[in-house]
Amino acid sequence: MKRNLLTFFILGGLILLAVVASQVVGIRLYDRVATNLCISLTLVLGLQVFMGNSGILSFAHIGFMGIGAYASALLTIPTMMKGMALPDLYPFLKDVQLSPYIAIAVSGLVAALVAAIVSYPLMRLSDAAAVITSFALLVVLHTVMTHWSALTNGPRTLFGVPKATDVKLAALVALLALVTALAFKESRTGKLLRASRDDERAAAAVGARIPQLRWRAFILAALFTGIGGALWGHFITSFSPRAFYLKETFLILSMLVIGGANTVTGAVIGTFIVTAAYESLRGIEGLLNEAKVSSQPVIGLTEIVLALAMMAILVLRPGGLFPTREIGALLARRFGRPEKSG
Amino acid sequence: MLEVTDLEVRYGAIRAVRGISFSVSSGELVTLLGANGAGKSSTLRCIAGALKSAGGSIRLDGENVTSAKPEIMVRKGVATVPETRDVFPDLTVDENLRLGSYTRRADRSGVNADRERMFELFPRLAERLSQPAGTLSGGEQQMLVIARAMMSRPKVLLLDEPSLGLAPVIVDQIFELIAKLKQTGVTILLVEQNVTEALAVADRAYVMRLGKVAAAGTAAEISAATDIDALYLGG
Amino acid sequence: MTFAIQFLINVLSLGGAYALMALGLVIVYGILRLVNFAYGELIMVTGYTLFLISGSALPWFVMAAAAVAMAVVTGIATDYIAFRPVRAKSVTAVLITSFAFSTLLQNAALLFISPRPRVIPLPEIFSRTVEIGGAITPMRNLLTIAAAVILLALFAFLMRRTVLGIAMRAAATNFTMARMLGVPANLIISSAFAISGFIAGVVGLLWMGRIGTVVPGIGLEPLLVAFIATIIGGMRSLTGAVIGGFVLAFIDTSLNYTLPQELLKFRDAFTFSLVILILLWRPEGLMRGPATGQRT
């Protein structure tokens, strides 16, 4: 227990430090970076809840980010703008206009509800079948978002989402996600699920209903991913379904994999590292474009470097930077008295 | 021919084979006896290259072949008949045999001669040449696996419980075959639980218990030893 | 009658392409039990190779052969870069590395070539049309059918009649046993990736022949098609993959003719939901593959 508190304080402190530092500097760019960092943390911690505990790779999560973003947009775009932004909207939604803060929470619940319905039968699957279905699910969600024009404005950009996310709100949600991820890992469900990750048969033999456990983790993950998506929507204020597809999936996955999917510490540290790398590389791309080193715009450099880093990590350190132990446990082992594993 | 020294095999934290040593001379038939879980099969699979050793050494004709890949071991003349009777069920009997001669497929006339020899030893296989191996009976599958192993013209044949799960009549046939194979001059290491039958064909025997060699001697000595049951039952 | 001929040609040409796409994916999956997410990029590589050498004065056939050869090389490279270093570690790791490798190749195309479509050279025959029984159909559809027939026959011969093919089928059921007979694991795996690359290269030429251009994301649709067809056909059966390709083409073509425009947009969602349903019903796919299996 002490170790988990220690982990929470270290990681939470890190998040707060990053946010405070970004404000003290007073440069708008850093404010944006810090907000993005906190949103990414929410998304990555969400994914960690499922992947880290169940050991199953899921490609579908970014789809739930999209659901969150669109749900919150529908609930908050001012009534007078809805006619323009979403001309074919169903009448019963036309007059809805909630406070963004309520809408963000509701959107998380919507994503969780969709996840609960869609994923229930999928949780029996393991290995390749599980991965392919999660990939299929992402494609299905993407197709629906791209073509359900009444709700999403189709493949076109949806405008007019009120700006509501600032760095404080994003940090608060990230901290909540952190507590939840740590608590879930230590909960009975989390522990049984981790046992099933290491040995599916043995866990089933002691009576763990694995699909049921995975399902709970998946719903919780979708809840946070949905909230993360809503936060992002209220930060960026205009987006199209393309934002919730393979590119974003790759980015979120690289954060989790580089840090270490099995630990909450890995999820947090991975997000920090990849965000820093991402922003610097984007900066370099920008500089190269300004310097006009080539006749064409420089794009893709960031993804190339991240892909290489991800592959290198998986080869050299397959579990990521924090493969098994949380930071609190590592420090306690190093400096403190030995404590029973918890 | 085959010399195993202080061999260890681990599955994670479990030590299945805890430092065993034995040797098989050229043309000899040596049997490894022991109860379930004594480490016999692990030893055999380790020699075949299908398992990595955790310690000790395996020498073939004086050459160190410890932890060589399975495909290398075949080229060096060690053929394996695994306990699980692994025919390729979707491949025909003919195709199974063709794979048996994979390492010497360039030597067409030699391969054909060996096929004829195998058909003499196992006439049933000749009848079922174009049938998928999965449709054969248990005994026929065992014959196919042995024939397939012999197609690589091995110096050493590793046989893992060839009598497992077969009807008594078939078991007798299999052991007759093993005796015939021995006469062709191939060196054989036979892992068995069927003590009587194994000792009847073997020159020498080692009894394994809990990953170690508990007794060794000629087949006659081991047969005569009164404590063989005790070794099995763990007394 | 005309409609029937039209429909048949459409199903057969689309099915031929789909069947080949599925076959290229399943040849690797069958042996390694691992999905190659960078499979679509083999098609992308074919396209860009053709684009890059289009300035040369070489005959088209030579350029096409070079492009397919490049796909073969990339296929083998996929094994060495994304599969081999992590294969022994975990299934998830391989899926992620192949996904990362796919991202890497796509973004390399973005960075070094262009995000915009690039025109690839095509022989004149690709744009010609012919009339069969009253139905006017593009020549390339017939080419696709012919290529599929030839390639499938060639593939069947390879798998049934050659030692390498028999060894690959054996490795797909029991890799360790195949190795214990002297079949080198690396040869089998590299061959599988090379065949995968070859098939992807040829099908890539035909696929891009429909639009005449290549973009960095061109591989996604073939990958998705291969997924669906493979799952319909049973994830480990080579015959199944081919059947799955034709079944999917039949479903797609029928939906094209029957679904109202409003719903047609959701076609991919329908077919993918079908995949999910099939996997729920039978996690190993519709058709049973070889009886047992294990990974190296």
Q: Whose CA is closest to C221, among A154, A67, A57, A142?
A: A142
Domain boundary assignment for chain A = 2-244+326-334
Q: Which residues in chain B have Cβ-Cβ distances shorter than 8 Å to C292?
A: 89
Residues facing B62 on adjacent strands: none
pLDDT of res. C288: 62
Q: Is the minimum CB–CB distance between C133 and chain A shorter than 8 Å? A: no
A129: nearest CB among C109, C269, C283? C283
How far does the CA of residue C187 sit from the closest CA of chain B (Å)? Answer: 11
Interface B-C, measured as beta-carbon pairs within 8 A, has a size of 73
**Predicted confidence band at B154 (pLDDT cuts at 50, 70, 90)?**
very high
Instruction: Give B75's contacts in chain C (Cβ within 8 Å).
Output: 182
Chain C residues in contact with B95 (beta carbon < 8 A): 166, 169-170
Count CB-CB contacts under 10 A for residue A106. Answer: 19
pLDDT of residue C259 exceeding 60, the answer is: yes
- Say what the pLDDT of residue B230 is: 60
| CB neighbours of residue A286 within 10 Å | 11
Percent pLDDT > 70 in chain C is: 96
Mean residue pLDDT of chain B comes to 90
Distance between start and end Cα atoms, chain C = 53
- State residue A25's pLDDT score: 85
The residue with greater pLDDT, C10 or B225, is C10
pLDDT at B227 over 80: no
Residue B25 scores a pLDDT above 60: yes
Nearest residue of chain C to residue A133 (CA atoms): C276
- The predicted pLDDT at position A294 comes to 72
Alpha-carbon distances, residue C220 vs A291, B182, C209 (angstroms): 33, 59, 16
Distance CA C124, CA B221 (A): 85
In whole angstroms, how large is the CA radius of gyration of chain A?
20
Please name the amino acid found at residue C127. S
In B74-135 the beta strands, taken as DSSP E runs, fall at 78-81
Chain B: closest CA distance from residue C163 (Å): 7
pLDDT at C273: 82
Phi, psi dihedral angles at A21 (to 5 degrees):
-60, -40
Sign of CA dihedral A58, C31, C108, A310: positive
CA separation for the pair B48, B78 (Å, rounded): 7
Mean pLDDT in residue range B185-211: 91
How confident is chain A (342 residues) per 10-residue block, as mean pLDDT? Answer: 87 93 86 95 96 93 96 93 87 88 96 94 83 90 92 91 94 96 94 85 80 94 97 96 95 94 95 95 90 80 94 91 89 68 42
pLDDT of residue A337: 56
> What single string gives the DSSP state of each residue in A16-38?
HHHHHHHHHHT-HHHHHHHHHHH
* Spans of all domains in chain C: 14-123+137-219
pLDDT surpassing 50 at residue B128: yes
Q: Would you state the structure tokens that stand for residue A212, as one six-digit string?
A: 């049921």
What pLDDT shows up at residue C261?
82
Give me the pLDDT at residue C290, please: 54
| C-alpha–C-alpha distance, residues C164 and B75, integer Å | 17
Could you report the per-residue pLDDT of C31-54, keeping only the tens digit for each? 888 899 999 999 999 999 999 999
In this prediction, residue A129 carries a pLDDT of: 80
Q: What is the 3-state secondary structure (H, E, C) of chain C?
A: CHHHHHHHHHHHHHHHHHHHHHHHHHHHHHHHCCCCCCCHHHHHHHHHHHHHCCCCCCCHHHHHHHHHHHHHHHHHHHHHHHHCCCCCCCHHHHHHHHHHHHHHHHHHHHHHCCCCCEECCCCHHHHCEEEECCEEEEHHHHHHHHHHHHHHHHHHHHHHHCHHHHHHHHHHHCHHHHHHCCCCHHHHHHHHHHHHHHHHHHHHHHHHHCCCEECHHHHHHHHHHHHHHHHHCCCCCHHHHHHHHHHHHHHHHHHHHHCCHHHHCCHHHHHHHHHHHHHHHCCCCCCCCCCCCCCC
For A304, the closest of C82, C108, C279 (CB atoms) is C108
Share of chain B above pLDDT 90, in %: 64
CA distance B77 to chain C (A): 10
The residue with tokens 């059947």 is C243
CA distance linking residue A67 with residue A219, whole number of Å: 13
Instruction: Check if the beta carbon of residue C283 is closer than 8 Å to that of residue A128.
Output: no
Please, which pLDDT band fits residue B63 given cuts at 50, 70 and 90? very high
Q: Which two tokens stand for residue A336?
A: 């403190």
| CA distance linking residue A11 with residue C278, whole number of Å | 43
Beta B29-34 vs B187-192: how paired, if at all? parallel
- Cα–Cα distance between B16 and B19 in angstroms, integer? 10
- Give the neighbours of chain C: at least 3 Cβ pairs within 8 Å: A, B
| pLDDT value, residue C127 | 86
Q: What's the whole-number mean pLDDT along residues C260-280?
A: 81
Residue range B87-118, pLDDT digits in tens: 999 899 999 999 999 999 889 999 999 999 99
Per-residue pLDDT at C294: 37
CA distance C231 to A88: 37
| pLDDT > 70? residue B228 | no
Q: Which residues of B touch C185 (CB under 8 A)?
A: 69, 71
Q: C80 — contact with chain A (CB < 8 Å)?
A: no
pLDDT at C83: 93
Q: Is B44 on the interface with C (CB under 8 A)?
A: no
Q: What is the pLDDT of residue C173?
A: 87
At residue B229, the pLDDT reads: 64
CB C16 within 8 A of CB C147: yes
Of A196-200, B2-6, B57-61, B92-96, the least confident = A196-200
Mutate to test the interface with A, among C101, C111, C236 (most CBs of A within 10 A): C111
* R_g of chain B, CA atoms, integer Å: 17
Q: What is the DSSP letter of A335?
A: H
ipTM summary value = 0.91
CA atoms within 13 A on the CB side of A40: 28
Please state, for a pLDDT cut of 90, what percent of chain C lies above it.
Answer: 62
Residue A196 makes CB contacts below 8 A (sequence gap 6+) with A54, A55, A203, A204, A208, A210, A213, A214
Contact C174 B88 (CB under 8 A): yes
Instruction: Answer yes or no: are the C-beta atoms of C43 and C216 closer than 8 Å.
Output: no
C-beta atoms of C291 and B48 within 8 A: no
